């Protein structure tokens, strides 16, 4: 490996990286994507001979190898085994068999054991112990002795979490963690995540992360994020073992939503006013779902099914009001409007319901509205909301659901969405919040949260 003196940006466990770069292949490449892919700038072009080389700060994440379009980089990474704590040692003479450590143990590794003379003390099962150190912290008699690595105290109210938007998937954190079971790898995203119940907050992973994706978070947020990831994992496991069964029930959920929304939409049409409307449908939805889904499944927390579920966006033209001014034609971003004088508006199928035409019409001859299910205070509402201009909204993407298929980018009328490095990138300045991407996303990974609701 090229031995160029440079300060390693983050302290790492010992790692041995063997690499070979085929310069004949490398010379064919003009863009050099390997340079941009390295999170610590360890890949460089030697100014003396023009060859691509790797610094001794490389920790072997192999992102450069994966980015090379000519397979010019061969790399083998060998990590030293993580330094792990020894199993805590219990001084039986100090132990009062109070049970505090038994209650604190997250894995059930500690139990009380009695002796022949009637005394009792705590004992640790080495196979179950994850070396998290919680038993040490709760012992009131200082009977439990602990090793040198993990902290003897922890920051109150804080937990360590991994930001998957910054994580590069090198798995260095999983290799350096001294507590078994604290860092798991998602079967869906293939990225590591932290179980806050097992994490001892020793900060080894934080110090070794090359992309600074691991930071302190509130315990409430960390547990909520962990629960969310585990929920996706459970769904993925169910889907893997019983895909046909689950797909049938999911299609029935959509069947209930669409059927109910069609009925409610017709009821809304009976009111000709352009005031926003909503109906509480919690009980109705629950009854309909329980009648349709498999008998082994039970509806418990209906509000957890979605936060906001867009059903449709509609546009209507009232030719009896139109004066044929043509203002709407000038602002339509997709040329979805035609005007046949004196005053006959035709709306094409490519309309994206952005609301721009409504904002410029001087006689209210155009009407745009969204219909959607919305959760509020543990109740489900079906709503119709009228759009008077470009929506005041926030764009949200679920990286767990998103498959980077590119469908949204192909249909975005303002080029506000693009795919870079297999991730969706959003440009807030370009977006007109038409919600077209939300409607066409096949995995419901996109949610446009309209602020006024």
Taking only the tens place, the pLDDT of each residue in 320-359 is: 898 888 899 999 988 999 888 776 888 988 888 999 999 9
The correct CATH number of 242-450 out of 3.30.70.20, 3.30.930.10, 3.30.1300.10, 1.10.12.10 is 3.30.70.20
Query: Does pLDDT of 240 surpass 70?
Result: no
Q: Mean pLDDT score of the chain, rounded to an integer?
A: 80
Q: Which of 39-43, 201-205, 313-317 has the lowest mean pLDDT?
A: 201-205
Query: Does pLDDT of 424 surpass 80?
Result: yes
Q: How far apart are CA 218 and CA 160, in angstroms?
A: 8
pLDDT of residue 243: 46
High-pLDDT (> 90) share of the chain, %: 16
Please state the rounded mean pLDDT for residues 183-210. 81
Please state the rounded mean pLDDT for residues 401-407. 79
Domains 89-145 and 242-450 are alike in CATH topology:
yes
Query: Does pLDDT of 178 surpass 90?
Result: no
Does residue 368 or residue 115 have the better pLDDT? 368
Query: Does pLDDT of 317 surpass 80?
Result: yes
Q: Which of 93-107, 236-250, 320-334 has the lowest mean pLDDT?
A: 236-250
Query: Does pLDDT of 246 surpass 70?
Result: no
Query: Does pLDDT of 251 surpass 80?
Result: no
| Residues listed for the chain | 453
Taking only the tens place, the pLDDT of each residue in 352-362 is: 899 999 999 99
pLDDT of residue 126: 85
Q: How far apart are CA 155 and CA 199, in angstroms?
A: 12
Q: Which of 110-124, 130-144, 264-278, 284-298 has the lowest mean pLDDT?
A: 284-298
Query: Does pLDDT of 264 surpass 60?
Result: yes
Taking only the tens place, the pLDDT of each residue in 1-47 is: 444 433 433 434 467 788 899 999 999 898 899 998 887 788 999 99
Query: Does pLDDT of 176 surpass 50?
Result: yes
Please state the rounded mean pLDDT for residues 44-72. 88
pLDDT of residue 63: 83
Q: Which of 14-18, 122-126, 362-366 has the lowest mean pLDDT?
A: 14-18
Which CATH code fits 15-79? 3.30.70.20
Domain ranges of the chain: 15-79, 89-145, 158-235, 242-450
Please state the rounded mean pLDDT for residues 206-235. 82
The domain made up of 89-145 is a member of CATH 3.30.70.3270:
yes
pLDDT of residue 106: 74
Query: Does pLDDT of 221 surpass 70?
Result: yes
pLDDT of residue 78: 76
What confidence category does residue 135 fall into, taking pLDDT thresholds of 50, 70 and 90? confident
What confidence category does residue 306 fall into, taking pLDDT thresholds of 50, 70 and 90? low
For residue 422, is it left (φ>0), alpha (ψ between -120 and 50) or beta? Answer: left
Which CATH code fits 158-235? 3.30.70.20
pLDDT of residue 4: 40
CA distances from 38 to 33, 34, 100 (A): 9, 7, 47
**How many of the other CB atoms lie within 10 Å of CB of 363?**
12
Query: Does pLDDT of 453 surpass 70?
Result: no
């Amino acid at each position: 490996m090229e031995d160029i003196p440079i300060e390693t940006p983050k302290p790492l466990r010992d790692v041995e990286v063997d690499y070979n770069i085929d310069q004949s292949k490398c010379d064919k490449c003009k863009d050099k994507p390997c340079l941009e892919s390295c999170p610590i700038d360890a890949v460089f072009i030697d100014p003396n001979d023009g060859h691509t080389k790797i610094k001794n700060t490389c920790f072997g994440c192999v992102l450069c190898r994966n980015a090379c379009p000519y397979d010019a980089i061969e790399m083998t990474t060998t990590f030293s085994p993580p330094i792990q704590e020894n199993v805590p040692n219990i001084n039986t003479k100090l132990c009062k068999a109070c049970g505090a450590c038994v209650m604190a143990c997250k894995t059930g590794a500690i139990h009380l054991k009695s002796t022949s003379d009637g005394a009792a003390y705590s004992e640790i099962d080495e196979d179950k112990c994850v070396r998290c150190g919680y038993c040490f912290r709760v012992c009131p008699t200082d009977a439990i002795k602990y090793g040198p690595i993990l902290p003897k105290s922890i920051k109150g109210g804080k937990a360590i979490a991994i930001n998957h938007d910054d994580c590069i998937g090198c798995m260095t954190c999983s290799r350096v963690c001294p507590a078994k079971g604290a860092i798991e790898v998602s079967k869906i995203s293939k990225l590591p995540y932290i179980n806050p119940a097992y994490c001892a907050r020793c900060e080894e992973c934080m110090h070794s992360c090359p992309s600074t994706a691991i930071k302190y978070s509130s315990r409430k947020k960390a547990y909520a994020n962990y629960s969310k990831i585990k929920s996706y994992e459970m769904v993925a496991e169910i889907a893997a073992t019983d895909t046909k069964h689950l797909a049938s029930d999911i299609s029935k959920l959509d069947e209930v939503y669409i059927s109910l929304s069609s009925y409610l939409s017709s009821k809304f049409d009976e009111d000709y006013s352009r005031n926003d409307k909503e109906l509480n449908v919690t009980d109705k939805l629950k009854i309909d779902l329980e009648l349709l889904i498999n008998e082994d499944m039970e509806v418990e927390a209906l509000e957890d099914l979605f936060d906001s579920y867009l059903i449709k966006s509609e546009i209507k033209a009232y030719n009896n009001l139109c004066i044929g001014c043509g203002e709407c034609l000038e602002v339509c971003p997709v040329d979805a409007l035609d005007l046949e004088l004196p005053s006959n508006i035709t709306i094409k199928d490519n309309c994206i319901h952005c609301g721009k035409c409504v904002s410029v019409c001087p006689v209210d001859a155009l009407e745009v509205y969204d219909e959607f299910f919305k959760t509020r205070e543990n109740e489900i509402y079906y709503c119709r909301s009228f759009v008077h201009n470009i929506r005041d909204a926030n764009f949200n993407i679920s990286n767990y659901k998103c498959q980077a298929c590119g469908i949204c980018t192909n249909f975005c009328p303002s080029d506000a969405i693009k795919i870079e490095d297999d991730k969706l990138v959003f440009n807030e300045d370009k977006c007109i919040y038409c919600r077209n991407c939300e409607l066409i996303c096949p995995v419901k990974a996109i949610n446009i949260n309209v602020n006024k609701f």
